[in-house]
Structure 1
Amino acid sequence: MNKDVKLRILLVHASAAELFNWTGRGVERSHVYPANHEGHAALAQTLQDDARTPFFILVDCIEEDFRHDSIAHVGGSDRRELLKRKLKLQFRNTPYRLATIIGREKSGRRDDNVLFSALSNPELLDPWTDTLLRCQVPVKGITTPAYLMEAYAAKHKRHEEHLILISIEPTTGIRQTYLKNGKVMLSRLAPWVQEEAVSANRLTEQVVPTRKYLERIKLVPFDKPVKVLVFSSGLTDFSDGFSDTDELQYEIVEMAAQSALLEAMTDALKKRRMRNLYAPFALRRYFHINQVRMGLFLLSASTLLTTAALVTPKFLNIVDSTDRTISFRIQERPLLQDYERLRLGFPETPIASNTMAVVVETYDAIQNQTLNPAQAMASISSAMRGISDIRLIGFDWSVRMSEERETAAEQQLLAGARISPQAFLAQAIIDQQTALNVIVEGRVENITSYQSAQDQVINFIDALSNEHGFTVNPLQLPLDSSPTANVTMRLDGSTINPPFRLELMQELQP
C-alpha cells in the first residue's frame, strides 16, 4: 500500500479502463486494463495489494443521456417522490441515473424544470463495479467528463449564458459539453481517427449541428450567440482557423497536457469538487462502512482523551476518577456494538455472490409489490375533496401486469407460448412491472341534472389523474353515450342518484 496515494480514479471508456493515483499534488497513471475478462482479473489482482484506498469512477462514454422535462412545483418529500418516479420512468434499465432541478418556468404554473441524466448502458460499467465490490473497495462515487467541465468552467470564472466546451481526448474522441449559466445541460461524444489531427473545419462541422439542436429543444434562443471554448493540444491543428459568426464565437485555450479531461479532473480534485452523481447506495456501501468505522474510532479516541483530561486534575480523588472512566466506557459500549453489527452484516456466504444478489433482489422485488389499501384509499379520498355529492359504494382492487408487460404477454401467447396467466403475473412481480388495479363503484346523490352529475364525475376523474397519478378508464358514467344506453329524465325537478363505475390503474414503483 502506497501511503502517498489519497484517492484512486478509475477512468472507464468503451475499450479499456485506466487507473490513476491522486497524491494530493497531482494525478499519475498507474495501470491500463482492457475491457474484457483478462482486464477485470488484472484489476482484481491490483486490488489485492491495496483495497483500502477509496476509489472514484470517471465514465467517459457515448451512452450518457440528457433529457429535459418539467414537474409541478412542490416541496419536501413530495418533490423527492415525484422526482424518483419521473426518473424511474425516464431511465428504467439503469441504476446509474440522476435528476436535478435546474430552474422554474417564468410563466403559467411556474413548474420546476428538471434535467434527467443517466449512464444508459450499464453493461459497460457493471463488470468493473462488480470487481470493486468483490474486493470490498470503498467507492466514493461516479461522475462524468460533462460535470468535470462544469467544475472547470466555475474555477476559471466562465460565466457566459451559453457556453460550449470542446475537448479532444486520445482514447475516446471529440466531446462537446453545453453549459447554460454555468450548469450542464447536454454533452455529446463523437469518435475520431486518432492518426489525424483535429482541424478547425472538423470542429465547426461538429458544433453547427449542436447549435441547431439546442435551438430546436429551446435551450438557446435563435438570436443569442454561443461562446465556443476549444482546448488546443498536440492532437489539434487549427492552422485553417475558426470563423466567428452571429451564432458561434470561438476562443482557443492552449494546454500543455494532451488531455483536457485530466486537467479538469486535477482541478476538481484540488478544489474537492468531485462529487458523486450516479453511484447508487449499494455500490458505495463499503465507503459508508469506512465512514462509520472512522466515526466510531474518532468518538472512542475522543472519549479516552476526555477521560484522561478529567482524571489528571483530580489525581488524588481516585474513586471519582474511576467512576468517570466507567461512565465513559458504558457510553462507548453501544457504539462498539453498532460497529460490530455493521461488520457482521457482510459475512462470508455459502453460495456465490451473484446467486445471493439474485435472491435478495427477487425478495426485494416481491416486497415492493405488496399492496397497502390504506394508501390507495387515502389517494381516492383526497381526490373527492370539494366534490360533495359523490358517494362511493364499492371497491375491488388487485395486482395486474403493467400495460407494457400485458402487451408483451399477449404477443408471446399469439406466438404459441404455453405459459399460464399466473406465471406471467409472477414474472412481472419479480421484474417489478406491475400495477394496482381498482374498480370503484359509486353514485351521485341528491342532484337534479344528469349533466351536473356527469361534470362531478369528470372532476373526480381529473383529480385522480392529475394529482394522484392514476390512469382512469370510465366503465360507466351518469351520461352514457353508447348506442345501447338508456337515459331517464324527471320533469318534476326531484333529485336523481345516477351510478358510475371507474377503473383506476397505477404502476407500482420499485
Structure 2
Amino acid sequence: MGAFRKQLFYLTNDQLTTYQGEKGNYSAGLSFPNDETGWEAFSRHLAGSQNTPTYLLADLIEEDFQLDSLPHVLGRSRRALIQRRLGQLYRDTPYRQAVQQGREEFGRKDDQMLFSALTNVELLKPWLNALMKQKVPLTGIYSPALLSTTLIKKLDLVSDNLLLVTHQASGLRQSFFQGSALKFSRLTTLPDHNPDTVADTTARETANTQQFLASARLLPRGKTLDAVILTHGESLQMLQSACHDTPALAHRFLDLTDAATQLGLKNPGSVTLCDPLFLSLLGATPASHYAQTEQTRYYSLWQARLVLYILSAGVVTGALLSAGANGLEALQHYRQSQQIAIETSLAQSQYQTIIRSLPHTAASPQDMKAAVNIEQMISRNAPAPTQLLGTVSRALDILPQIRIDQLHWRVSTEAETTDNPADPQQHQPVPGVAEPAPSSVLIGIPKKPNQILLIEGEVVSLRQDYRTALESVRLFAAELGKNKLLRTEITRPPLDIKPSVKLTGNAGVEETDTKTRFIMKLTLRPES
C-alpha cells in the first residue's frame, strides 16, 4: 500500500468493517465479528499494513456526553483542571476528551465545555491490541458524533437548534447542535434496515428526543427543533410520509446522493448509508478524538520515515539536476575548447604563412622579442637619482644649516649594500686592472636595483658648537628617514663621541665660521 492510500476501519458494537479510501472513493471490504474468531482473522488481515495510514471510526452505543463549565484559566492550570474533571466524570476509561464551546456571557464568564468518552473499554481492547501487534500506523480513534460538527458545516445545515438524524450500519444516530456546537448525541440500534423499520423508528425516536431535550432544558422553551434527516431511496419516501411536523418539531429531508455529491465522493448514487459520509471526513480531521499516545506511536514513526523519504528524494533529484547541469556545462566547455583549438591552429597557420613571407633577417623573431622585452624592462626599471635628490632637497629646505659639499650616487646589488662606503674612492676603477662586467641588476634586470647616495656635507655655525652640529645632523637623518623606502646611516658624524676616541682642543680659543663636516649614506630600496 502506498503512502498516499489509507485504510479505514468502521467499528460498531457487533463487528468491524474494513474500507479502502483513495481520492474520494470508499469501498467496503471484509467484516469481522466481535468475537475471538473475528479478532484473530482481523490480526491476520493486518499483516503487511505497516506502511498504510489507518483510521478507526468507532460508532458505539457506549459514548457519553456531558456539558459542564470550568473556571477560565490558561496554560498548565487549564490542562490540569480539564484532566481532573475528565477523571471525575470518566474514571474507568482512558478514551476521553474535552472541547471548549465558548464562554458564559455573565458572572465569571466560565468556559463552556463538552466532555465525552467511549466508556466500553473492553470492546476496543482486542481490536487495538491487533493493531499494535502488527505495528500498524494508527492515525487516531474518531467518533461519528464529533465528526458531525464538520459534516453540518460542509452540508450547510447549521441552525440554532438542529437535530441531525443519520442512518448508519450501526443504527440510527441523533446529534443535537446549537449553532455549530454539539450538545448531545445518542445511537439507537435497529432490528433491521428495512425501509418500514427505519421510517417508524426515525419518527418515534425523533419525537422522543424532542421531548427529552425540552425536559432537560437543552432546547429553549417555545423554540422549534429543526430535525434534518439523511436517508436514501425508498426510505426517504416512507420517512416523508411517517414524519409529521408540529409546532415543536419540524422535519427536513436530505437525500444521501446530494450529500455525497456536496462532499465530493465518487459514485454518489451508490451511497445508501451515512457511513461513507463520515469516512470521507477522516482525511481532513486535524487530530484524533480518543486515541492514546502509545497507540499512535507507529503513525508518528511512519510520518518521520515519509519525511526522510521525501528529503532523500529531494536530495537525489537535486544531485541529478546538478549532475545534468554540470554535464551540459562540461559539454559546452568541450565544444568551446574544440573551437579554440581550431582557431589556434588556424592562427598558427596564418602566423607561419606571414613568417615565411617576411624577408630573411639576421636575428630570429624570438631574439627580437627578447630584445624588446629587455628594452622595456630597462626603460621601466632603469635607476635614476631624481627621487633621492628630491628627498634630500626637501630636507635641506627644512634644515638650512646643513650644506652639501659633494654627492656620490651609484646603484648596487643587495650584497653590495652591506659594504662600508665611508671611502668614496674604494669603488673607483684601478688603472691597469680590467673591470669586471657589471651585473645586469645594476641596469634594472630583472627588477629595480638599490640606489646609494653618499652625502659629504657640513653644518654651518657662527661659533664652535658641536652639540648643535650633532643635533642638526641627527634631525637631517630623521627628516630623510620619513621615507619608508629610504635607509639612512651617519657614517662620519661632525664629532666622534665614541669612548675609544681621543678629544683635543684649545681652551679659550673661539674660531669663527667653524665648519663641522659629516658623511651620511642613504640607501633607497625599490618598491616591492
TM, length-normalised to structure 2: 0.55
Is 1:184 aligned to 2:182, yes or no? yes
What do the CA deviations read for 1:341-396 (whole angstroms, capped 9, x no partner)?
Answer: xxxxxxxxxxxxxxxxxxxxxxxxxxxxxxxxxxxxxxxxxxxxxxxxxxxxxxxx
What do the CA deviations read for 1:15-66 (whole angstroms, capped 9, x no partner)?
Answer: 1110000021310111111111111111111122433211100111100100
Is 1:264 aligned to 2:277, yes or no? yes
- Aligned residue for 1:20, secondary structure, equals strand
- Aligned residue for 1:174, secondary structure, equals strand
What do the CA deviations read for 1:463-498 (whole angstroms, capped 9, x no partner)?
Answer: xxxxxxxxxxxxxxxxxxxxxxxxxxxxxxxxxxxx
**Partners of 2:256 and 2:274 within 8 A in 1:** no
- Aligned residue for 1:282, secondary structure, equals helix
What is the CA-CA distance between 1:157 and the residue it aligns to?
A: 1.1
What is the CA-CA distance between 1:239 and the residue it aligns to?
A: 5.9
- Aligned residue for 2:124, secondary structure, equals helix
What do the CA deviations read for 1:108-138 (whole angstroms, capped 9, x no partner)?
Answer: 1110011000101011111001000000000
Alpha-carbon distance change, 200 to 301 in structure 1, aligned in 2, over 3 angstroms: closer
**Partners of 1:5 and 1:21 within 8 A in 2:** no
Alpha-carbon distance change, 4 to 23 in structure 1, aligned in 2, over 3 angstroms: farther
- Aligned match of 2:491: none
**Partners of 2:8 and 2:279 within 8 A in 1:** no
What is the CA-CA distance between 1:155 and the residue it aligns to?
A: 0.7
Tell me, in whole angstroms, the C-alpha distance in 2 between the residues paired with 1:277 and 1:38: 28
- Aligned residue for 2:46, secondary structure, equals helix
In percent, how many aligned pairs have the same letter? 27
Count of aligned residue pairs for this structure pair: 315
What is the CA-CA distance between 1:142 and the residue it aligns to?
A: 1.1
Q: Compare 208-217 and 282-291 and name the one that shifted more.
A: 208-217
Q: 1:400-439 residue pairs with structure 2 within 5 A?
A: none
Alpha-carbon distance change, 26 to 266 in structure 1, aligned in 2, over 3 angstroms: farther
Instruction: Please tell me the root mean square deviation across aligned C-alpha atoms, in Å.
Output: 2.8
The equivalent position to 2:307 in structure 1, one of 295, 315, 336, is 295
Letter in 1 for 2:170: T
- Aligned residue for 2:306, secondary structure, equals helix
What is the CA-CA distance between 1:102 and the residue it aligns to?
A: 0.7
Q: 5+ residue gaps in structure 2? A: 258-269, 328-528
Tell me, in whole angstroms, the C-alpha distance in 2 between the residues paired with 1:195 and 1:281: 37
Letter in 2 for 1:288: S
Letter in 2 for 1:165: L
- Aligned match of 1:198: 197
What is the CA-CA distance between 1:267 and the residue it aligns to?
A: 4.0
- Aligned residue for 2:30, secondary structure, equals strand
- Aligned match of 2:294: 282
**Partners of 1:147 and 1:184 within 8 A in 2:** yes
Alpha-carbon distance change, 274 to 312 in structure 1, aligned in 2, over 3 angstroms: closer
Alpha-carbon distance change, 231 to 181 in structure 1, aligned in 2, over 3 angstroms: same
- Aligned match of 1:105: 104
**Partners of 2:11 and 2:58 within 8 A in 1:** yes
**Partners of 1:98 and 1:116 within 8 A in 2:** yes
Tell me, in whole angstroms, the C-alpha distance in 2 between the residues paired with 1:211 and 1:304: 62
Letter in 2 for 1:221: P
**Partners of 1:168 and 1:231 within 8 A in 2:** yes
What is the CA-CA distance between 1:199 and the residue it aligns to?
A: 5.7
**Partners of 2:142 and 2:288 within 8 A in 1:** yes
**Partners of 1:139 and 1:284 within 8 A in 2:** yes
Q: 5+ residue gaps in structure 1? A: 316-510
**Partners of 1:235 and 1:258 within 8 A in 2:** no
What do the CA deviations read for 1:186-224 (whole angstroms, capped 9, x no partner)?
Answer: 111112221652365542321233223323443321122
Alpha-carbon distance change, 165 to 135 in structure 1, aligned in 2, over 3 angstroms: same
- Aligned residue for 2:77, secondary structure, equals helix
- Aligned match of 2:36: 37
Q: Give the number of the structure whose alpha-carbon radius of gyration is greater.
A: 2
Is 1:11 aligned to 2:24, yes or no? no
Tell me, in whole angstroms, the C-alpha distance in 1 between the residues paired with 2:11 and 2:198: 27
What is the CA-CA distance between 1:4 and the residue it aligns to?
A: 9.3
**Partners of 1:136 and 1:286 within 8 A in 2:** yes
- Aligned residue for 1:53, secondary structure, equals coil
Tell me, in whole angstroms, the C-alpha distance in 1 between the residues paired with 2:81 and 2:104: 17
Alpha-carbon distance change, 38 to 5 in structure 1, aligned in 2, over 3 angstroms: farther
Tell me, in whole angstroms, the C-alpha distance in 2 between the residues paired with 1:206 and 1:290: 44
Letter in 2 for 1:285: R
TM, length-normalised to structure 1: 0.57
- Aligned match of 1:215: 214
**Partners of 1:198 and 1:235 within 8 A in 2:** no
**Partners of 1:66 and 1:115 within 8 A in 2:** yes
- Aligned match of 1:424: none
